[in-house]
Amino acid sequence: MVLKVRAKAPAPSGCPLSACMTLLRGAWTPEVIWSLSSGPRRFSEVRRTLPAISAKVLSARLRELETRCVLTRTVMQTRPPTVEYALTDLGQELIPVIRAIVEVGSSLHQREVQALRKGGSDARAPATVDYEHA
């Protein structure tokens, strides 16, 4: 039995685009960061702001973001102990990215509204143009 050699690198490593995207990868990741952008929150607080996320995924995201130095996890000496998650400096750097994403998302929503007003049935027509002359 010989180990299969991976013919293509999983990530171009040198690329800053892929480097940052690994921080944002995975379901709910931007939402979790966004939820912490207004200040530190506890597990159940984040969960309440993101009602559709499952505990497992939220737990996994928080762990990953911690190991990637995007946020810190602080166990408070209370009874019962509570845990607080807060963005690091690196996490704060991601806020402009997410803000930019939200902006495009909003403009996307406005496009849809306008498309609906205009009639809507051809709003989703394929964008392909066939046989344009060169």
Instruction: Kindly state the helix (H) or strand (E) to which residue 30 belongs, with its residue range.
Output: helix 29-36
Site membership for a copy of itself, residue 9 (CB under 8 A):
yes
Which residues, 6+ apart, have CB-to-CB distance to 57 below 8 Å? 27, 28
Binds 122: which of a copy of itself, DNA, none (CB < 5-8 Å by kind): none
Summarize as ranges the residues that interact with DNA (CB under 7 A). 6-8, 10, 26-28, 42-45, 53-57, 59-60, 62-63, 73, 79-83
Binds 43: which of DNA, a copy of itself, none (CB < 5-8 Å by kind): DNA
Site membership for a copy of itself, residue 75 (CB under 8 A):
yes
Instruction: Give the pair of three-digit tokens for residue 76.
Output: 């408070």
Query: Which of these, 31, 41, 47, lies nearest to 94 by C-alpha position?
Result: 31
Q: Between 68 and 115, whose beta carbon lies closer to DNA?
A: 68
The DSSP code for 11 is S
Q: How far apart are CA 62 and CA 75, in angstroms?
A: 14
Q: How far apart are CA 108 and CA 92, in angstroms?
A: 25
Q: How far apart are CA 39 and CA 56, in angstroms?
A: 22
**CB of 30 vs DNA, minimal distance in Å:** 11
Binds 72: which of DNA, a copy of itself, none (CB < 5-8 Å by kind): a copy of itself
Binding region for a copy of itself (CB under 8 A): 8-9, 12, 15-21, 23-24, 30-31, 34, 52, 54, 66-67, 69, 71-78, 82, 88, 90, 93-94, 96-98, 100-109, 111, 126-134
